[in-house]
Amino acid sequence: MSADTTLWIIMAACLVIGCPIFVSLGVASTVALLLTNIPMRIVALDMLKVMDMFPLLAVVGFIFAGALMEKGGMARQIVDIASLFVGRIRGGLGITTILGCLFFAAMIGSGPGTVAAMGSIMIPTMVRRGYSPEYAAGVCATGGTLGILIPPSNPMIIYGIIASTSISALFTAGFVPGFLLGLLMMGMAYLLARRSGFTGAAEGDAEARFWPLFRRNFFSLMAPVIILGSIYAGICTPVEASVVAVFYALFVGACITRELRIPQIWDAIKLTNVSAGTIIIVLGVSTLFGRILTMQRIPHQLAAAMMNLTDNPFVILLLIGLLLLFLGMFMETLATIVILAPIFLPLITRVGIDPVFFGIFWVITNEVALLSPPLGVNLFIAQNLSGISFERVARGALPYMLLIISFILVLILVPDLVLWLPRLTGQY
């Protein structure tokens, strides 16, 4: 049996019996190496190579900053401001949730993290105000997907490393589709609330309350401006901006909201260790996995097979998108990037698809994966926060999932929606 066949069989077997993705990749890669003349020391070398990837520090920094912001009450302050603007209209709390996700996503870069932060605040609030648990869980799970599209984004950082593409250009490219998709989600939340008869929830004179609330929450609202502004102004690299985010979160949580104490900081450190450690392990074994794929010329074979089928970029993007939607039902977002990006990149460059556009396309496709059973990470988090069945959460998120798929088709037809801003700002 050839090494490449062994690779796929063992990986599939490990996944079927429930092994974690990093174990499946590592075992399959090691066994495949035993069938070749390649020295086994490349296993250790590839693991160390990942530890030397400087941009990975940005992932660790943004995860830690996000945890500190959640523990320090910054997420709640953002929700207070968003609710003041839109809470009174029909479905206002659903729209508030998506607005809050937009702001919080611009600080932490994590989809599940955004769901956890917003859902813990908004799901109980919506249920108390007469919204159905299904609606509340669905809008929180969906709004949380913006966490991987609105920069900074951890999947964008990983893709940029693997594709040797400018991470700043990817961040800039995510802005327009991120805010457009957020607006469309708000429209969907309004329509669903109108159909179900949900009313607004804000109380009191919004104009009179705005300035006192703005002054009290000013430092939390400035976090996205400081973090992203430092990147786009050329003051900081993404790694440096992640460190700025950590210190800013510590300052606001400890000195402004005064909700961040040693126990909360320790909890944030533990969460960061688990999350960042998982990402680094998966990326390490995936680097080894990708090396074997390249040596077995699997990316070239796949590219040749697809080119024999069609050389139309639109059709190729559709085929890749369908594959990513299917795999997203069973594989975690970062795992699909680290495994498949080395395979698809030679193909998309051959047919003239821009790598920056492809990165944004990939991230948005993975937004659907976060809402797709049976894996559906965001659905599980919303289920735990709402206390309803997984099926009801999935049903609440289904209209938004169809909306995201439609938006992907629009981007394929109009790629300039992604690329014009990085070109305009000179990031690309």
Q: pLDDT, tens digit, for every residue of 6-58?
A: 777 887 787 778 777 677 777 887 887 887 777 777 777 767 766 666 667 77
User: Does 242 share its domain with 360?
Assistant: yes
* 396, HSE (Cβ side, Cα atoms, 13 Å): 30
User: Strand, coil or helix: what is 191?
Assistant: helix
Tallying the residues shown for the chain, one arrives at 428
pLDDT for residue 408 is more than 90: yes
How would you class 390 by CB atoms within 10 Å of its CB: exposed for 0-12, middle for 13-18, buried for 19 or more? middle
Summary mean pLDDT of the chain: 80
User: Does 254 share its domain with 147?
Assistant: yes
- For the chain, what is the domain count? 2
User: Does 258 share its domain with 295?
Assistant: yes
Distance CA 53, CA 31 (A): 26
User: Does 33 share its domain with 83?
Assistant: no
Cβ atoms within 10 Å, residue 352: 8
**CA-based Rg of the chain, rounded to a whole angstrom?**
22
pLDDT band at 358 (very low <50, low <70, confident <90, very high): very high
User: Does 188 share its domain with 327?
Assistant: yes
User: Does 31 share its domain with 62?
Assistant: no
Q: What is the pLDDT of residue 116?
A: 75
User: Does 198 share its domain with 264?
Assistant: yes
Q: What is the mean pLDDT of residues 309-319?
A: 85
Instruction: Kindly state whether residue 44 falls inside one of the protein's structural domains.
Output: no
More confident residue, 174 or 296: 174
Instruction: Kindly state whether residue 71 falls inside one of the protein's structural domains.
Output: yes
Name the residue type at position 122.
M
* Percentage of the chain exceeding pLDDT 70: 86
In sequence order, the 6+-apart residues with CB closer than 8 A to the CB of 402 are: none
pLDDT for residue 348 is more than 60: yes
Instruction: Kindly state whether residue 93 falls inside one of the protein's structural domains.
Output: yes
User: Does 30 share its domain with 71?
Assistant: no
User: Does 415 share its domain with 296?
Assistant: yes
Residue 32 is part of which domain span?
Answer: 1-38
User: Does 34 share its domain with 62?
Assistant: no
- What are 239-255's pLDDT values in tens digits? 888 888 889 989 988 88
Instruction: Kindly state whether residue 219 falls inside one of the protein's structural domains.
Output: yes
Instruction: Kindly state whether residue 296 falls inside one of the protein's structural domains.
Output: yes
User: Does 214 share its domain with 92?
Assistant: yes
pLDDT for residue 202 is more than 60: no
User: Does 16 share its domain with 111?
Assistant: no
pLDDT band at 331 (very low <50, low <70, confident <90, very high): low
DSSP state of 37: S
Instruction: Kindly state whether residue 46 falls inside one of the protein's structural domains.
Output: no
Instruction: Kindly state whether residue 47 falls inside one of the protein's structural domains.
Output: no
- What are 140-165's pLDDT values in tens digits? 889 888 888 888 788 888 898 888 88
Instruction: Kindly state whether residue 48 falls inside one of the protein's structural domains.
Output: no
